[in-house]
Amino acid sequence: MAVMKKKDGAGYVQDVANAAAREIPCRVVEVAFEKEPTGLYLRVYIDTDNGVTLNECERFHRLIQPKLENVTYDFLEVSSPGIDRPIRSLEEVQRALGQEVELRLYRPRDRQKVFVGRLQAFDGQTYTLTTPQGDMTFDHKEVAVARRTVDMSEAIELEGSDRIAPDPGTTQEET
């Protein structure tokens, strides 16, 4: 069996991952080969509208690993990309509409490079945010990174109390 190099294997891995995603079901956010001191990592990031569980990542891993024997890598990782991952595609922008996002600019605007607000619109060229300063628009070319923000207020409230956050997989009677 021929072994595929990183550049040849990327498209193949994407196809294998997309097929597995239809079975889970989930969506493949990114497939990446990343060289680290410990070796070559093949990382596959998956997601659903409700996030992914460890069991879903494990199931996905078991589905794709046997089909990747002819791809060169040292470690295979399957995980969620995280809620605060950079927004890179139009599909991700659409999912972020109405949510709080952070835009980091290449150059300061009014001596500020980071803006946080509710993403109201994106027309393919311009982000529109509702911020404490009012509605603001940013050309996509001036935005270095756009990402959703993470609201940790509930976790902080729980930390100071005796309550434990219920496991999303349990019913109210079980908690």
CB 34 within 8 Å of CB 41: yes
Residue 108 and residue 73 share a domain: no
Say what the pLDDT of residue 117 is: 95
Number of structural domains (the chain) is 2
User: Tell me, what CATH number does 111's domain have?
Assistant: 2.30.30.180
Residue 97 and residue 74 share a domain: no
- Average confidence (pLDDT) over 77-86: 90
Say what the pLDDT of residue 160 is: 59
Mean pLDDT computed over every residue of the chain:
86
Residue 136 and residue 104 share a domain: yes
Say what the pLDDT of residue 171 is: 43
pLDDT band at 35 (very low <50, low <70, confident <90, very high): very high
Say what the pLDDT of residue 85 is: 87
| Distances 69 to 4, 85, 102, 140, 157 between C-alpha atoms, Å | 9, 29, 40, 40, 47
Residue 74 and residue 95 share a domain: no
Say what the pLDDT of residue 128 is: 97
| Distances 132 to 46, 74, 87, 113, 115 between C-alpha atoms, Å | 33, 47, 22, 15, 10
Residue 98 and residue 36 share a domain: no
- Reported as a single tens digit per residue, the pLDDT across 146-155 is 999 987 775 5
Residue 72 and residue 96 share a domain: no
With a pLDDT cut of 70, the percent of the chain lying above it is 82
Residue 55 and residue 16 share a domain: yes
Residue 28 pLDDT greater than 90, yes or no: yes
The domain containing residue 65 runs over which residues?
6-79
User: Tell me, what CATH number does 12's domain have?
Assistant: 3.30.300.70
Tokens of 19: 């097929």
